[in-house]
Amino acid sequence: MSHKALSIFQDCIPLFQVLSDNHRQSILLMLSEKGKMTVNEITEQSTLSRPAISHHLKLLLEKGLISVEQKGTQRYYSASLRASVDLLKELVAALEEECLK
């Protein structure tokens, strides 16, 4: 693997790690399908407890996979995948470029 591809891959590792959890995958898919949701709304659709949902949301937020908007006393979470998709596209492009050499 080229230095460029390896560097991009290393940048993707935190993304892969956070997405390796089935619960976080489910939460991200739910937000992608349903749009903005509160912790309580997500909890109602899940078998996890509210604290567990909050923990997973925190991890997704830290990696930039979701965003949060405060409206009054409610926090609304939504999928925010653009930066992650762009990083993965960059990795694929570097790997494809390497394969064509």
pLDDT tens across 69-91, in order?
A: 999 999 999 999 999 999 999 99
Q: What is the pTM of this model?
A: 0.88
Strands (E), 33-99: 66-71, 74-79
pLDDT given at position 52: 97
pLDDT given at position 92: 94
Q: Other CB atoms closer than 10 Å to residue 81's CB: what's the count?
A: 15
The per-residue pLDDT of the chain, averaged, comes to 94
